[in-house]
Amino acid sequence: MSTAPPGADELDRRVREFLAGHDPAALEPLEFLRARFDAGLAWVHYPEGLGGLGAPRELQPGVDAAFAAAGAPRNNPERNGIGLGMAAPTILAAGTREQRERFLRPLWTGEEIWCQLFSEPGAGSDLAALGTRAVRDGDAWIVNGQKVWTSMAHEARWALLVTRTDPDVPKHRGMTYFVCDMRAPGVEVRPLRQITGEAEFNEVFLTDVRIPDEHRLGAVGDGWKVSTTTLMNERVAIGGAAAPREGGMIGVVAGLWRDRPELRTPGLHDALLRLWVEAEAARLTGARLRQALAAGDPGPEGSAAKLAFARLNQEISGLELEILGDEGLRYDDWTMRRPNEVDFTRRSPGYRYLRAKGNSIEGGTSEILRNIIAERVLGLPGEIRVDKDVAWKDLPK
């Protein structure tokens, strides 16, 4: 006889009992996080034994709030956003039992950081055009190629890697997905300095990298399908993340407006009100999107959330500089750094303005997201694709 998944009251009881036996002030943070995962209170909607209890997804915020109120250690989602927001749901959806048991626990506790090896110099917006080759060699694959714009590659232990395994079929059908060990021989990470002065991103060169077949996610040739799972979760993670009212960038600028009355003008006031309303509408839409996710996997709606996030972040950061006037033109963050997280709220206005430019590129360009919304949400005719039935090897390079 099956057991019904726990509801809110049952989860409250389990959290209280767990905290009674695991004092956050007395335990090492990693020990506490491992115990929380093993108790099924990490991702409550995941299966038992994999950090969850099979509970409804919408109960997670209440569990997180209870742990936060008790002073429990966090698992640093700012540092491992790719792992938590993209790798974990992909492994859950496409991984074997052994892969789930191996990777999910140290991912959630923050012991192992993840990155994403998708984009290439000649395959960014058109991911299916990628050329990084994986060739079967017994019980392993030999991988050669180059990836670019890889966040956290300099910190990562593991990577989500999509490759070309069959060049003789159309581009979407000849891809295979792997978990790549970033410490394996042949993996080279080089920094890419960006407009902010930092090297947050990287290019990654793969030279005869040997990946065991047991680290393949999904069937051979199913790389596009598995990649779509990753990308849909990425867009929800970027654009639909939970936030309080006046969270994120709009909170920073609203706080500036309240604290610096000498900077106010009627025109800027109107602009701030408009963006505040749009940010609140986006926040509430994100909450509704997360509720819909409780019933299944993310769909194309996440593209709309991510598109709105990028536009708002750029407009709000621009408004902040307008409010500050000459003061906003000062920028003191040029030091070459290798950051291990992206934090808009604790940096300078100049950093926020410059870094926000990347929001319309990362996680899928705004142009591609508009295509997805037009075709998969609005049902408009798709763009003409002359390469749809052409073997990848015959495409212009």
For this structure, is 214 an active site residue? no
Q: Residue 310 and residue 34: Cα distance in Å, rounded? A: 35
The token duo for 127 is 């991911």
What letters, b where the CB count within 10 A reaches 16 and e where it falls short, cover 68-93?
eeeebbebbeebbbbbbbbbbbbbbe
**Is there a contact between 328 and 350 (Cβ–Cβ < 8 Å)?**
yes
Say how many residues make up the chain.
Answer: 397
Q: Is 1 exposed, middle or buried (0-12, 13-18, 19+ CB in 10 A)?
A: exposed
Q: Residue 80 and residue 77: Cα distance in Å, rounded? A: 5
Q: Residue 276 and residue 333: Cα distance in Å, rounded? A: 27
Q: Please work out, in degrees rounded to the nearest 5, the angle formed at the alpha carbon of residue 240 by the alpha carbons of 237 and 246.
A: 120
Catalytic option among 200, 234, 301, 320:
234
Hey, what's the torsion of the CAs at 143, 147, 151, 156, to 10 degrees? Answer: 20
| Residue 363 dihedral angles phi and psi, to the nearest 5° | 75, 20
Contacts of 96 (CB under 8 A, 6+ apart): none
Catalytic residues: 234
